[in-house]
Amino acid sequence: MKPAGQMMKQVLRSGSAVIASLIISGASFTFAQESVAVRAALVTGGLPLDDPNAAAWSSVSPASFPMSPQVHWPNRIQEVTVKDVAVRALYDGKQVVFLLEYADPTQDPDDGAALEFMVGDKKAHFAHGQPMLQVEGGPVNIWFWKNKAGKAVDMSAKGFGTLKPQAHQDVNAKGAYSNGTWKVVFSRNLSTDHPEEDVQITPGQFISIAFAVWDGRKDAAGELVEKGSQKAVSSWWYFRADAPPDYSSYMYAAVAAALALGFQFVLIRKLKKGQ
């Protein structure tokens, strides 16, 4: 009876410890429920760098993000064609490639899409790194693709009216349209020589990412409906190139378990001697 009581106490204490840790991790789960991230798995043997329809993509599960019309600053737009984007990513030791996929009923020369990243340690507002009043913000790096250009433009911005192509173009992009769906791949080296303007991708690290899409359709008067700031946008989400597997935690756990076992052994030996 007595040892059972001791056991009971142990169970009670570790039980409440488990409950406590569940509550703590549960809190982060509830916050992270919407925070889906794009995760790039590490692949060996070649990335589908310029093929939006490559077979390699079919084994990658997409992350889906809702889009809104850009209403944050003028010129606004109240309604946009694209409501969601599905994003996949892969990387090898040297390069990263993103596949952006979305429904668009018509293929137009002015169809376009973009990825946006925070650059460096400072937070940047998702609207082109617009200056914040109480927080010093950082720049954003934008990878922009337009159907009729058939290539990517590597751009930087830090606030309204500051968006401009960089002197160093590091990004490639290619789009493929079929059955009412655009698939656009963007690729770049994980790191570049210009960390102050380009996002640097370190495996294992979460990076803020956002998306924008322009449907290049024209209205009855022949004017583009979505252009410039009149586009579909997403909020900030996360991107991460998955870190190579790290087994050190298993080793630490084994060492700790061995120490606990040794402690038990010494304690019981001492108790037996004492009696």
Partner 1 sequence: MGALGKPIILMVTMYLFLKFVLPNIPGSAPLPSSLIFLYLLLTASGIIIYETLSGESKDAFWGPMQRFLTGEKIGGLQALRYGVLILFPLLVGWQTYGSTATSDLPPTEGRTIHPAPPGEYTGLSNPVPKTPDNIMQGKGFYAAFCSPCHGGNFDGKGPAARGFNPPPANFADPTTIAMLQESYLFWRIKKGGVGLPIEGAPWRSAMPRWEVELPDEWIWKIIMGEYDGAHQSPRTWE
- Least Cβ distance, residue 143 to partner 1 (angstroms): 19
Return the number of the residue (16 or 106) whose C-beta is nearest partner 1: 16
Q: Which residue intervals of the chain are DSSP H helices?
A: 2-32, 248-274
- Least Cβ distance, residue 197 to partner 1 (angstroms): 18
Q: Which residue has the tokens 């001791």?
A: 6
Return the number of the residue (151 or 261) whose C-beta is nearest partner 1: 261
- Least Cβ distance, residue 147 to partner 1 (angstroms): 22
Residue 69, Cβ neighbours under 10 Å: how many?
Answer: 17
Return the number of the residue (45 or 245) whose C-beta is nearest partner 1: 245
Q: Residue 169 and residue 203: Cα distance in Å, rounded?
A: 22
Q: Residue 202 and residue 58: Cα distance in Å, rounded?
A: 25
Query: Is there a contact between 234 and 64 (Cβ–Cβ < 8 Å)?
Result: no
CA angle (197, 202, 204) in 5-degree steps? 140
Return the number of the residue (3 or 45) whose C-beta is nearest partner 1: 3
- Least Cβ distance, residue 172 to partner 1 (angstroms): 27
Return the number of the residue (31 or 179) whose C-beta is nearest partner 1: 31
- Least Cβ distance, residue 11 to partner 1 (angstroms): 10
- Least Cβ distance, residue 61 to partner 1 (angstroms): 15
Which CA distances in Å does 108 have to 69, 116, 148, 151? Answer: 19, 22, 8, 15
Return the number of the residue (54 or 163) whose C-beta is nearest partner 1: 163
Which one, of 178, 140, 174, lies nearest residue 159 by Cα?
140
Tokens found for residue 96: 């990263």
